[in-house]
Amino acid sequence: TGTTIVAVAYDGGVVLGADSRVSTGTYVSNRASNKITSLCDNVYLCRSGSAADTEAISDYVRFYTSQHISETQQEPIVKSVASILYQMSYNNKGLMAAMIVAGYDAKEGGQVFGSPIGGTLVRMPWAIEGSGSTYIWSFFDDEYKEGMSQGETEQLVLKGIAHAMARDGSSGGIIRLVTVSKDGVSRKVFQGKEIPLVLGDMAEPQTNAAT
C-alpha cells in the first residue's frame, strides 16, 4: 500500500487528499496518478493498495450506486454508498484494498468512513491509509480539532500528506485535494514549491552570503 491518503470531516463537508506516486517495488511507475475517485456527485473514494483491485472495486461501486440513484431518483446518502463498498470488499477478502469513503449529504453532513484491508467499515472524524500513514498518526492526533473551517481542514490535510511524503519513500509526487460540501465539489492541486517543506531531522538551509 505504497501511498498516503487522508480524509477529514469538518462542519459543512469533507476534505479528501492523496499523493500521486505509484510504485512497483522500488520503481516509480507513475508519478502523477489520481488516487481520488468519484463514486457519485456527493461521494468520493481515496484508494490505496493494489491499483487494479481498488479500481475494480470503485467501478463496481459506481455502477451499483448509479442503479440506486436511478431507482430512488435522489442523491444517495454517504453511508449507503460506503455500505456498497463494504460489501464488495468484505466478500472479496483476497483483494489488497485499503480505502476511505467520504462525502456530504443533507441528512448527516460531512462523513468519513475508513475501510482497511479485509472489509471493515468504520465511521470516523478523520481517516488515513497507505504506507505513509504510519508516519502521521500522531500528527493528526495532535492537530485535528473539532469545529475546524474548510480552509483549516484543507491546510491540515495538505500538511499531513507533506509530512508523510518527506518520510515515506513510496509516497511522493503532487498532492491533490477534493472538498465536498453542500456547495458542491472543488479540487486543488499542489506541486513543487506549493507543497509545504518538511525538513525532518535536517537543518534548515542557510542563505549563501555570496549570493
Q: What share of the chain is helix, strand, coil (3-state, %, to 5)?
A: 30, 30, 35
Half-sphere exposure (CA, 13 Å, Cβ side) for 71? Answer: 7
Burial (0-12, 13-18, 19+ Cβ within 10 Å), 10: buried
Residue 60 identity (one-letter amino acid):
Y
- Which of 3, 4, 54, 153 is the catalytic position? 3
| Paired strand residues for 28 | 23
Q: Are 163 and 139 in contact (CB under 8 A)?
A: yes
Measured distance CA(40)–CA(189) in Å, rounded: 21
Spell 96-115 as b/e; 16+ CB within 10 A means b. Answer: ebbbbbbbbbeeebbbbbbb
Instruction: Decide if 24 is catalytic.
Output: no
Catalytic residues: 3
